[in-house]
Amino acid sequence: MSKEMNLTLKVWKQKDQNSPGQMKTYQAKKVSPDMSFLEMLDVVNEELIHQGQDPIAFDSDCREGICGTCSMVINGTPHGPNKGTTACELHMRHFKDGDVITIEPWRAKPFPVLRDLITNRSALDRIIQAGGYISANTGNPADANALPVSKKDADLAMDAAACIGCGACVAVCKNASAMLFVSAKVSHLGLLPQGKPERDRRVWNMVSQMDKEGFGNCTNTFACEAVCPKKVSVLFIARMNRDYALSVAKGQPDAS
């Protein structure tokens, strides 16, 4: 039988976007090592509600490492100490009895705190929207081999498409850069035949929107790759930079 743990949680509490926040201490008692991190917070919240206290507000949806909404910084690392996982996939066996765990929201100006550990990450949605559409015929499904794609390009596109848009790359970057996220979204379409007709327009629009949202630039610390729960490579940033330079050279608006 797994030994239960007692933990001390130091959690960022903030009423709303316009209110000051502060760290508040909570006790997490009789925590099973087999619990996920979010299940542990659920148990803590049940006790807080039972005591008539305000529960810890945090975001979650799928709890399967797919949606990326469980965005929180755990002991200084986005999504916690276990590489290649989201916070909802992090299990309490990665901690020890008596540990003090610090839990904070994403720290970036484009991600304002809405309440406690919940941030507004709609800036990422607007970047995706700026990418527009792809020229793909609709109607009956086409044959699988109608548009030949090399295995190298297909694999790269799939690696880029693995990005779940959680924003961990922004939270860990000293410049609050979203370039890993944007490069993944640019690349997974631009590598495939269906996405190539809008390739130049897409990269220019998405990078321009990224700048408008107030995200910083990349200075190649590779911290984004280190904390990405889907292990998206920084090589996509280099690919995006090349695509952006080409779009400018071809006469995109900011080249004037």
What is the pLDDT at residue 245?
94
Cβ contacts of residue 251 below 8 Å, gap of 6+?
A: none
Q: Across the chain, which distance is largest between two alpha carbons, in Å?
A: 68
In the predicted structure, residue 147 carries a pLDDT above the cut 50: yes
Q: Are 100 and 129 within one domain?
A: no
Per-residue confidence (pLDDT) for residue 144, from 0 to 100: 66
Looking at the chain, the whole-number percentage of residues with pLDDT higher than 90 is: 84
Residue 40, pLDDT score: 98
Name the residue among 72, 94, 65, 92 with its Cα closest to residue 10. 72
Q: In terms of domains, do 129 and 233 share one?
A: yes
pLDDT, tens digit (0-9, with 9 covering 90-100), for 30-65: 999 999 999 999 999 999 999 999 999 999 999 999
Checking DSSP bridges between strand 5-14 and strand 21-31, what pairing results, if any? antiparallel
Please indicate, yes or no, whether residues 72 and 151 belong to a single structural domain of this protein: no
Same domain, 126 and 212: yes
pLDDT at 256 over 50: no
Query: Could you tell me if 107 and 192 lie in one domain?
Result: no
Polymer length in residues for the chain: 256
User: How many domains, in total, are found in the chain?
Assistant: 2
Q: What is the pLDDT of residue 138?
A: 62
99 and 126 both lie in a single domain: no
- Helices 199-212 and 235-249: crossing angle in degrees, nearest 10, is 110
Same domain, 155 and 207: yes
According to the model, what pLDDT value does residue 250 have?
A: 87
Are 131 and 233 part of one and the same domain?
yes
Q: Tokens standing for 237?
A: 């940033």
Q: Reduce the DSSP state of residue 100 to 3 states and report it.
A: strand
Claim to verify: residue 108 and residue 80 sit in the same structural domain: yes
Instruction: Give 165-219 as a DSSP string.
Output: ---HHHHH-TT-B-HHHHHHHHHHHHTSGGGSTTHHHHHHHHHHHHHHTT-B---
Q: Are residues 129 and 103 in the same domain?
A: no
**Domain co-membership, 32 together with 100:** yes
Is pLDDT at 252 greater than 70 in this prediction? no
pLDDT of residue 255: 43
100: which residues sit within 8 A by CB, 6+ positions away? 7, 8, 9, 10
The answer to pTM > 0.75 is yes
| CATH number of domain containing 220 | 1.10.1060.10
Over residues 184-202, the mean pLDDT reads 91
Higher pLDDT, 77 or 132: 77
pLDDT recorded at residue 246: 92
Range of the domain at 51: 5-114
pLDDT at 253 over 60: no
Same domain, 129 and 234: yes
Give residue-wise pLDDT tens across range 100-116.
999 999 999 999 999 99
Structure confidence at residue 195 (pLDDT): 87
In the structure, what pLDDT confidence band is assigned to residue 137 with cuts at 50, 70 and 90?
low
The mean pLDDT of 221-250, rounded to a whole number, is 95
Say whether pLDDT at 132 is over 60.
yes
pLDDT at 133 over 80: no
- CATH code for the domain of 81: 3.10.20.30
